[in-house]
Structure 1
Amino acid sequence: MIVLFSDYGQQGPYIGEIEAMLFRYAPSERVINLLCDVPAQNVQAGAYLLAALSADFPKGTIFFCVVDPGVGSGRDLPVVIRLVDHLFVGPHNGLFDLVSRWSATVECWQITYQPVKLSNSFHGRDLYAPVCAMLARQQPVPGKKISWSQRYNWPDDLAEIIYFDSFGNAWTGIRAAAMEVSKTLVVAGREIKHSDSFAGVPPGTSFWYENSSGLVEIAVNRGCAREELGLEIGSEVR
């Protein structure tokens, strides 16, 4: 199984081109588009989202991971990392910092594969997708093993808004397991109390809860937290 995680967005041809490349080189492999609207060019938000979303996939899953504002610059090594039973393919730009932190083991290889065609702006299609296909077919990927080190000293829990779903609910980078339910959050000058579910508060009331990915999420029952609280990516949570 190959799982796509990117900031390519819902519009445009990019996801289709990735899927076509994977079908070309690994036609029997199942491809799942997990998330394609990571906040654009926001590697830090992507790192926390990837750590939260990738844990429950089956053994042997290959993650295609591209949030790459430095594409074409040569400043970030293309890598494959193995975290126990999962493989992650993408740029070594901080995107894997959190998911590797929670892994019992980490192995890393610098990709040295040189595709015939390599655009300056779409390494996802030209480099990372073929590498994912090679791994899925258990073919050797040209590369060399290197020591792993995180790019940034980001905190275990990021007290910011990192993502909005289609309902306008605001995901934070805080693991719910690290938060006491008695905690009252302050977001955009508003106090936000905990509720186990939407049904636990009246319509129009804002609250926070543990979402299905284990993160603290801020919502408004039958409303849009993004609009009603005036939130944006990077809004501070206290």
Structure 2
Amino acid sequence: MFRSIVVALALGLSCGGAAARSPLVLFTDFGTADGAVAAMKGVAYSISQDLLIADLSHEDPGGIFAGGFRLYQAEQFWPKGSVFVAVVDPGVGTGRLAIALETLSGRFFLAPNNGLLTLVAQREGVKELREIDESVNRRPGSEQSHTFHGRDIFAYAGARLASGAQSFEQIGRKLPPEALIALPYRAAERKGDLVNGVIPVLDAHFGNVWTNIPQSMFEELKVALGDDLRVRIHHGDRLVVDLVAPYQRTFGDVQPGTPLVYVDSLFDMAVALNLANFAERYGVGFGPDWTIDFSRAP
């Protein structure tokens, strides 16, 4: 009886396609008001109904730069072997390459080669880079579709990789690591008595201002909890914010509507208003041309 059950299970797996090996995580700027994301999931499930599919986000992150940070924010918490399909792709249908990246941390990323993987590659390291071979990694019958590569190429190829239907080496020809397009991204730095960085994104729901200044660099200022800091934010050469705020552990340590400097969930420095929207009140945006610095208040 036991042997019969094992044989039946083996036959069931062979008939139903490859069993899922890795989570498949979808990240797009498509939104969920229409059927685009559902179509991607349908294509993936057509490869294997055993897939574990999760959503990172499908809201507009604000461009490729911000999209790269959203991916950077979340991917590190997923297990080794996870497959990320990342589609923020204003150049869809043009000559830009569709690529697959394996990082030194053992995760996989399928995306347009437009800079979206800049931060992931910098932090995790590039183990191998490949061009997605569309002759085998394109949804059958979609050859005349030029504006929905998220469904027809990336979701299809990602599902084949996550399910074990193909290996990473089978995705396509190997590319040199320098073929990966990288966006300009200025790292945080200490300049004497202040630390300076950029505002890569905003905390979308609450309007908190996130920075790329790590807590370890900030602590070089020898600031203690409760100390006042001067916070200055520039958009290009224009000074947008110049205020004093205390360094605190969390939002409730200051009065409602009051600013504070704190360490965010990525262990970088951030600025917020308790129970209010800092970015909205002060007209702060995000991107490589938005900079911020912290120094001790006089």
Q: For this structure pair, what is the TM-score category when the shorter chain's length is used for normalisation?
A: 0.7 to 0.9
Q: How does 1:117-156 map to 2 (within 5 A)?
A: 117-118=142-143, 119-140=145-166, 141-149=170-178, 150-152=180-182, 153-156=184-187
TM-score by length of 1: 0.88
CA distance in 2, matches of 1:67, 1:136: 20
Q: Matched residues in 2 for 1:71 and 1:101: separation?
A: 24
Higher share in helix: 2
CA RMSD of aligned residues (A): 2.2
**Aligned-partner Cα distance in 2 for 1:214–1:6:** 25
The CA distance in 2 between the partners of 1:138 and 1:130, in whole Å, is: 12
Q: What is the CA-CA distance between 1:121 and the residue it aligns to?
A: 1.8
2:33 to 1, 5, 11: 11
Structure 1 residue runs of 5 or longer lacking an equivalent are none
1:77-131 deviation digits (Å, cap 9, x = unpaired): 1111111310011111111121111224421111112323052221111100001
Matches within 5 A, 1:1-238: 1-40=23-62, 42-74=63-95, 76-84=96-104, 85-114=106-135, 115=138, 116-118=141-143, 119-140=145-166, 141-149=170-178, 150-152=180-182, 153-157=184-188, 159-180=198-219, 182=223, 184-187=230-233, 188-191=240-243, 192-234=245-287, 235-238=290-293
- Structure 1 residue matching 2:124: 3-state secondary structure: coil
- Partner of residue 14, structure 2: none
Tell me, in whole angstroms, the C-alpha distance in 2 between the residues paired with 1:57 and 1:215.
Answer: 20
Structure 2 CA distance for partners of 1:10 and 1:148, relative to 1, 3 Å = same
- Bigger drift between 76-85 and 134-143 goes to 134-143
CA distance 1:142–1:4, change in 2 (3 Å): closer
On the 8 A contact 1:162/1:173 being kept in 2, the answer is: no
Contact 2:85 2:155 in 1 (8 A): yes
189-198 vs 142-151, which moves further: 189-198
Is the Cα contact below 8 Å between 2:130 and 2:171 reproduced in 1?
Answer: no
Would you say the 8 A contact 2:260–2:273 is kept in 1?
Answer: yes
Structure 2 gap ranges (5+): 1-22, 189-196, 224-228, 234-239, 294-298
The letter for the 2-side match of 1:207 is: L
Q: Partner of 1:219: helix, strand, or coil?
A: strand
- In structure 2, what is the Cα distance between the partners aligned to 1:171 and 1:15? 28
Q: What's the TM-score, normalizing by structure 2?
A: 0.71
- Provide, for residues 131-151 of structure 1, a one-character-per-residue CA deviation record: whole Å limited to 9, x for no partner: 111101212244111111242
Q: Is the 8 A contact 2:31 2:59 kept in 1?
A: yes
CA distance in 1, matches of 2:155, 2:29: 15
- Deviations for 1:173-202, whole angstroms, at most 9, x for unmatched residues? 444444337364313323244322112211
State whether residues 82 and 107 of structure 1, in contact with CA within 8 Å, keep that contact through their aligned partners in structure 2: yes
**What is the alpha-carbon distance in structure 1 between the residues aligned to residue 247 and residue 32 of structure 2?**
32
Whichever of the two has the greater Rg, that structure is 2
Q: In the superposition, relative to structure 1, how do residues 14 and 208 fare at CA in structure 2: closer, same or farther (>3 Å)?
A: farther
